Amino acid sequence: MAIPRKSIAVLPFVNMSSDIENEYFCDGLTEEIINALAKIKQLSVTSRTSSFYFKNKSVTASEIREKLEVATFIEGSVRTSKKKMRITVQMIDTVDDFHFWSETFDRNPDNIFEIQDEISLFIAEKLREHVGHIEIEDKLVAPIDVPVAIYREYLKGRYYIMKLDYKNSIKGINILKDVIHKSPNFPNPYLDINLAYINMGTMGLLPAFEAYEKAQPYLSKALVLDPNSSRSQLNLALIECWQNWNLKKAYEHAHKALEMQQADDIYLTISNFLTVEGKLDAAHNYLEKALQLDPYAAINHHYKGFLYYLKEEYTTAIPFLKKALELDPKLPFPPIYIGICLLLSGKSNEALTYFGSLKGVSVKDLTKLGGETMCYAYLNETEKCNDGLKELETYLSTALVDKALTFLILVNALLGNDEKVVDLITQAYNNHLPLILVLNPSPILKPLKTYKGFKDIMLKAIPDNDNYKQKKKYKQALLNKDEIEKYTKELEQIMMDYKLYLNPDLSLKDLASYLELPTNYVSQLLNLGFQKNFSEYVNTFRVKEFKERVLLKENKGLTIMAVAYDSGFNSKTVFNTFFKKIEGITPNTYLKSNS
């Protein structure tokens, strides 16, 4: 696979001081540089989880190239004393395996925000010199209006919550609460406490209801203090989807977050929303982008397996789910779907053995009980199945109601108790439980998709869900004005994110698969939304790409047509015709006038 030239990973800076306090700063500096570089739209930046996978590990350039698929990586170290901080930074080309830039910064540790911005800008400038043009803002790290001592305490609290276990999360939350007491208008600790509780609820370290209830006030305060950051927009997107069931607004906030910063968790979130709608191919495309940016994030591998499960490709799903557990054995979701994939692929006894062997967090979150009960339903072991159902029902009045209802719905679906399933789903709907949205694409509930009671609830929860409308997608009028506006924005985002135009064999059908619309709808979309046909639309992107590439120092030795082919064209005649049509001059004239 070709490594994108404009791609970079920032490995955790090494603490060269004996003071543990400096460890917090090293991790914080690394994160801040990752976040700063991620603001550069033309640059693909490996996310935190995958960068920190290599913390305290000795790695070679070839290993980083192979495992993170980046052309460049940063490594550095920090040594501090009371009045002096020495930061060394090196930039390594993974393709040719050489250090092409290094710098030592001797600075006053009190100027922490200026240091972060200065180093981020230095890295961006040196990278631009090496890989070609990228647009860089004047500032990449905005200063924070808090004293340096309090900011260091904040980094300490974040250091502990990012360890992701219960004990350290609580320790980090308490430190961050103290930071809030000292600087009540500093939004970051509110967002991080919210994150800590959400993580604990998601991983089963706290009951989900309790965790989300504790998280909410901190998120609300953070949104008042800083509503326009990418993290705030992402949190708003999650609220609109899972709490308000408003997918239109959820997409709006998620895409705003993506405009500010390309991050794997934003791509994963959009993939989640597409999954709710049953748009599994489009969800898969966004998930692949998340994996590209964060290949060592357990949740990304889990979600890839989950999508294959939803597509009923059970044997394909299992390795991804197992990889997720290998990266994070505490992640509670993969065991559920490993067992269900075994069950639905005809290995019911193996599935029963698997669920029966689960220990630890999976016992607490009902996976063992629910999974075994599903197996008994599948195996027609009526007495054991009924015992399992009765035990699951005892949890309906507890904090585990969400998980209990999920398993009760799935077991009754396997038993063919359609009316009971609709009754249970109605309970979930009346209690506004988020599980409603996850039921929509479930393969186990596939037989109920034509059942009126089920369709009615799904349409109430997801009013724009095309799966349950009477063939709205195929109405004679094709796309209306609002749909054209929606899909033009989606298509532009997809073209920017995936650079589909670089594929010389790109077809109208390919674009349609990304939007999950019939091909004739996309043809109409291009005509009405862009006033272009397919060739005109795609070749406009290719001409723009050519204009950028042909002026790069690294391409000076290439012919005009070599650069055109690299930009996605596959015909000299088409290239020359479209270039002159769009630019009004020939490629040769353009090159001479810009040399």
Supply the pLDDT for residue 318.
97
The answer to whether 79 and 17 have CB atoms below 8 angstroms apart is yes
Do 96 and 117 form a contact (C-beta atoms < 8 A)? no
Of residues 312 and 206, more confidence is placed in 312
Question: Does residue 586 register a pLDDT over 50?
Answer: yes
pLDDT > 50? residue 199: yes
**Tens digit of each residue's pLDDT (9 = 90 or more) over 515-559:** 888 888 888 888 888 888 888 899 999 999 999 888 888 778 788
Give tens-digit pLDDT for 119-133: 888 888 888 888 777
- Model pLDDT, residue 258: 86
pLDDT tops 60 at residue 468:
no
pLDDT at 189 over 70: yes
b/e per residue 397-436 (b: at least 16 CB within 10 A): eebbbbbbbbbbbbbbbbbebbebbbebbeebbeeebbbb
Is 251-473 the same fold as 7-131? Answer: no
Answer whether residue 465 shows pLDDT above 60. no
pLDDT at 556: 80
Residue 62: how many CB atoms within 10 A of its CB? 11
pLDDT score, position 353: 95
Q: Which of 306, 296, 330, 321 is nearest to 203 (CA)?
A: 330
Query: Stretch 466-494: mean pLDDT, rounded?
Result: 68
Tokens 């996309």 sit at which residue? 522
> What pLDDT is stored for residue 473 in this prediction?
40
Type and span of the H or E element at 432: none
**pLDDT given for residue 40 in this prediction:** 84
Domain-by-domain residue ranges, the chain?
7-131, 148-226, 251-473, 487-594
Q: Which residue has the higher pLDDT, 24 or 469?
A: 24
More confident of the two residues 74 and 227: 74
- Over range 299-319, report the average pLDDT: 95
Average pLDDT over residues 425-429: 90
- May I ask the CATH architecture of the domain 148-226? Alpha Horseshoe (1.25)
Q: Which of 155-187 are b and which e, b meaning 16 or more Cβ less than 10 Å from the residue's Cβ?
A: bbbbbbbbebeeeebbbbbebbebbbeebeebb
Select from 377, 409, 382 the least CA-distant residue to 393: 409
- Rounded Cα–Cα distance for residues 214 and 211 (Å): 5
Q: What is the rounded CA–CA span in Å between residue 497 and residue 480?
A: 26
CATH number of 7-131: 1.10.630.10, 3.40.50.720, 3.30.1050.10, 3.40.50.10610? 3.40.50.10610
Is residue 268 very low, low, confident or very high in pLDDT (cuts 50, 70, 90)?
very high
Amino acid letter, residue 61? A
CA distances from 246 to 11, 50, 92, 227, 459 (A): 38, 32, 45, 19, 12
Is 214 strand, coil or helix?
Answer: helix
Top CATH class of 487-594 equals mainly alpha
Average pLDDT of the residues in 168-177:
95
Q: Per residue in 212-241, pLDDT tens?
A: 788 889 988 998 998 888 888 888 888 888
Q: Evaluate whether the domain defined by 251-473 bears CATH number 1.10.287.110.
A: no
> Residue 406: which pLDDT band, with cuts at 50, 70 and 90?
very high
